[in-house]
Amino acid sequence: MLNTDIAMGLARVTEAAALCSAKFMGRGDKIAADQAAVDGMEKAFAMMPVRGTVVIGEGEMDNAPMLYIGQNVGIGEKNMPEMDIAVDPLDGTILIAKGLPNAIAVVAMGPKGSLFHAPDMYMKKIAVGPGAKGAIDINKSAKDNILNVAKALNKEVEELTIIVQERERHDYIVEAAREVGARVKLFGEGDVAAILACGFENTGIDIFMGTGGAPEGVIAAAAIKCLGGEMQAKLEPHTEEEKQRCKDMGIEDVDKVLLIDDLVKNDDVYFAATGITDCDLLRGVVYSKNDWAATHSIVMRSKTGTVRFVEAHHDLNRSSLVVK
């Protein structure tokens, strides 16, 4: 079995989720859009040449009928590799319901035991591309991190762009950026797309900072690892119940700084994403006449450093990726 088969298979998995959910753009129904993405992704996974187990998914088995944590996916023959699977069939349900940018379908995959089993809670994150590797420290102030990244990239601080989710809890980051004169790009939803964008120079985004979902943090960490960048994180349990959930999942020190090798514990992981609506890095699904659609995806492997951009054109009447 060729590793390119796995890589391109993952691209088909995210393409399927994107194609199935994109028709709901702007229709105000985030639940239907999410369900369509899940349906498409699960169908495509059935053709993957792996023995996969979902470690980050749509929730626990009792609450998620498909792509639930612990679900086996893939063809599943004994000679196929055992893999951890982390999925977000639609990162940005509110975005697609409103027809806004930054909705994507994403998957991360690595050998069994390689992906951090993140509890469903908040996680503080900071991420940069390879040019600023070694310049971030999640325990330092936002101001210090901004100045250190600017220095590492050999940029004037006024040329540096920080991407931050527009939330009140992030006001301190915005204030620090404005104090030193850095540029700020705010986004509404979609952590994974925002973190992915900071790994590429041509997006103009240099650093991600903020607090968002922990499961999304692990998926994004796989992307940053494939790109040779750096990411750090800290879990932020807000209740005793969340602290106990961490302990139940084997996380004794909830205050530990999670480095990228804690989040992604193997040097041979895969990441794939397909744009559903337009993003900084990926174009969204575009429909054309006679039931054709175009998708724009990225698929990466950390072991080889290979980054593929895949533009695909699908005949929706014949495509095996589309759930009718």
Query: In the predicted model, what is the mean pLDDT of residues 36-63?
Result: 88
Could you tell me if residue 322 is inside a domain? no
The confidence band for 1, taking pLDDT boundaries of 50, 70 and 90, is very low
The confidence band for 181, taking pLDDT boundaries of 50, 70 and 90, is very high
Query: In the predicted model, what is the mean pLDDT of residues 25-32?
Result: 96
Domain that holds residue 284: 3-114+268-315
The confidence band for 35, taking pLDDT boundaries of 50, 70 and 90, is very high
Query: In the predicted model, what is the mean pLDDT of residues 49-77?
Result: 86
**pLDDT tens for each residue of 262-285:** 999 999 999 999 999 999 999 999
| CATH value at residue 60 | 3.30.540.10
Do 259 and 303 lie in one domain? The reply is no
Query: In the predicted model, what is the mean pLDDT of residues 73-99?
Result: 94
**pLDDT tens for each residue of 231-245:** 999 999 988 888 888
Number of domains in the chain: 2
Say what the pTM is. Answer: 0.94
Query: In the predicted model, what is the mean pLDDT of residues 63-84?
Result: 89
Could you tell me if residue 210 is inside a domain? yes
Do 36 and 136 lie in one domain? The reply is no
Residue 85 CA neighbour count, 13 Å, CB half = 31
Do 185 and 108 lie in one domain? The reply is no
The confidence band for 316, taking pLDDT boundaries of 50, 70 and 90, is confident
| CATH value at residue 259 | 3.40.190.90
Q: Residue 63: what pLDDT?
A: 67
Q: Check pLDDT > 60 for residue 151.
A: yes
Do 208 and 311 lie in one domain? The reply is no
Query: Which of 292, 239, 231 has the alpha carbon at shortest distance from 262?
Result: 231
Do 100 and 219 lie in one domain? The reply is no
Could you tell me if residue 276 is inside a domain? yes
Could you tell me if residue 169 is inside a domain? yes
Provide the mean pLDDT of the chain.
93
Q: Residue 324: what pLDDT?
A: 58
Do 56 and 173 lie in one domain? The reply is no
Q: Check pLDDT > 70 for residue 61.
A: no
Query: In the predicted model, what is the mean pLDDT of residues 128-134?
Result: 97
The confidence band for 254, taking pLDDT boundaries of 50, 70 and 90, is confident
Percentage of the chain with pLDDT > 70?
A: 97
Could you tell me if residue 164 is inside a domain? yes
